[in-house]
Amino acid sequence: MSPSSDPERPLKVLWLARLEHRINAWREMWARRAGRTPTVAAFPGYGGADWVRVLGRVVIPPRARERGAGEYAGVRGWRSFASVPIGFARVTITVDGATHEVVADRGGVIDTEIPATLTPGWQSLRMSVEGGNPVETRVFIVGRDTRFGVISDVDDTVMVTALPRPFLAAWNSFVINEHARQPVPGMSVLLERLVREHPGAPIVYLSTGAWNIAPTLARFLRRHLFPAGAMLLTDWGPTHDRWFRSGKIHKSENLERLANEFPDVKWLLIGDDGQHDDAIYTDFTSAHPDHVAGVAIRQLSPAEAVLAGGRTVVNNHAAAEVPWVTDGDGAGLLDKLQDLGLVEAPKH
C-alpha cells in the first residue's frame, strides 16, 4: 500500500505535529523557569499602497545570545535552531501611527497583513511581545507606478550550499560558520544592476530554507553586498497532513500571492537547476505570462551538481511567451539578460 493510500497516514502525521508542539511547550516552560524571556526576531517584509506584510518569529533565544533580538541567532547555524519557538504568542505591531495585536502560529511565526499607508521605499515598524523592548524592522513599500520586480531563490542561486543532499544541508544549516559560506560569483552584481536600473523595484528572496536561518541569511547578504530585500522562508516542522512542509508548495503559493498583490508588476524570476525552480517557474509563467518579465536559471557546476545529487532537467523554453536564459554564474546571466534587453548594456 502506498503512503498516499494509507488512511492512517494523516493521523500519524497529525500526531507528530502535536508531539512537536508538546516538546516546544516543555522547552518553553523550562526556559521561563530559568528566567529567560521571549523576543521577536523580525524579518524584512514588503507592502503596497495601503497594506504591509509583516514577518517575524517569537522565540526564547539561547542564553548566550540574549543581548538583543538582532543577535539571537549565533554565527553557527545550530544556535538559531536552539532557540525555543513560542507558539500562539500575542505580538504588538506599531506601524503608521497605529498599534495592532496579532497572534503567531504554532511555530511562533508571524506572517500577517495589516493596513498601513506608507510612502514607497524602505519604511520602519516596531514589534514587541509580552511588554518587552520593541524590535524595529523594515518593510519595502512598492509604489503604485512600479512595473518591475525581482524574485530570487537563495540556495545555490545566491549562496553556494549544495542543499538538496541531506547531509550537506544539515552541515550548512547547523554546523558551518556563516563566514565560510560562499556567494555564487557575479550574482550580487547582477541583482544590484537590476535594482539600480529599476528604481523602486522590489526584490524578494524566496527560499525553502527555515525561518531559523533568516538572521544568518540577512548577514550573509549584507556582507556580500547583495541588495536588501524581503525574505520569504518557511517552517520545517510537520503539518496536519505531511511529515515536512513542501518547499515546492511554499514557493508556488508565494509566487501566486505576489502576482495577486501586485497585478501590474512583471517579475524577473531567478533560480538554479539543482532543485525544482525550472518546473515551478514553468508552471507560474504558463499560468501568468503577463506577470513575468523573464526567467534566469543558474546552472550548477559539475562538482556542485554531484554534491547536490544531480541537476534537474531544464526544459526547452524557446517557444515560451517570456524569455529564458541559463548560465553558470551571475556574469553570464547578466550578459544574456543584456542581449535580451532586460538589462541595459554598458555604454562605451
CB 16 within 8 A of CB 238: yes
CB 333 within 8 A of CB 327: yes
**Residue with grid cell 506584510, as numbered in its chain:** 53
Give the single-character DSSP code of 184: P
**Residue with grid cell 539561547, as numbered in its chain:** 62
SS3 205: strand
Strand ranges for the chain from DSSP E: 39-47, 51-60, 84-85, 90-95, 98-103, 109-115, 121-129, 135-141, 148-152, 159-160, 182-183, 203-210, 230-234, 266-272, 292-298, 324-327
- 25-66 pLDDT, tens digit each: 888 889 889 989 999 999 999 999 999 999 999 999 877 544
In Å, how far from its chain's centre is CA 78? Answer: 19
The pLDDT value recorded for residue 2 is 38
* Each residue's pLDDT expressed in tens, for the chain with a length of 348 residues: 333 444 444 444 466 566 667 887 888 889 889 989 999 999 999 999 999 999 999 999 877 544 444 443 344 555 556 788 899 999 999 999 999 999 998 889 999 999 999 999 999 999 999 989 999 999 999 999 999 999 999 988 998 875 544 554 555 555 555 666 789 999 999 999 999 999 999 999 999 888 877 888 888 899 999 999 999 998 755 444 444 556 788 999 999 999 999 999 999 999 998 778 999 999 999 999 999 999 999 998 766 665 555 555 556 675 578 999 999 999 999 999 999 888 887 776
In angstroms, the CA 139 to CA 118 distance is 10
- 139-176 pLDDT, tens digit each: 999 999 999 999 999 988 998 875 544 554 555 555 55
In angstroms, the CA 261 to CA 273 distance is 27
Domains of the chain: 11-141 (2.60.40.10), 148-339 (3.40.50.1000)
In Å, how far from its chain's centre is CA 147? Answer: 22
Those residues with Cβ within 8 angstroms of residue 329's Cβ, 6 or more apart along the chain or in another chain: 184, 185, 186, 187, 298
The pLDDT value recorded for residue 73 is 39
Residue at 24: amino acid letter = N
**Residue with grid cell 512600479, as numbered in its chain:** 146
Question: What's the grid cell of residue 316?
Answer: 526547452
The pLDDT value recorded for residue 217 is 86
Question: What's the grid cell of residue 340?
Answer: 535580451
Helices first, then strands: H and E counts in the chain: 9, 16
The pLDDT value recorded for residue 22 is 80
In angstroms, the CA 158 to CA 298 distance is 9
Beta bridge partners of 232: 206
CB 41 within 8 A of CB 73: yes
In angstroms, the CA 153 to CA 161 distance is 12
In angstroms, the CA 30 to CA 195 distance is 46
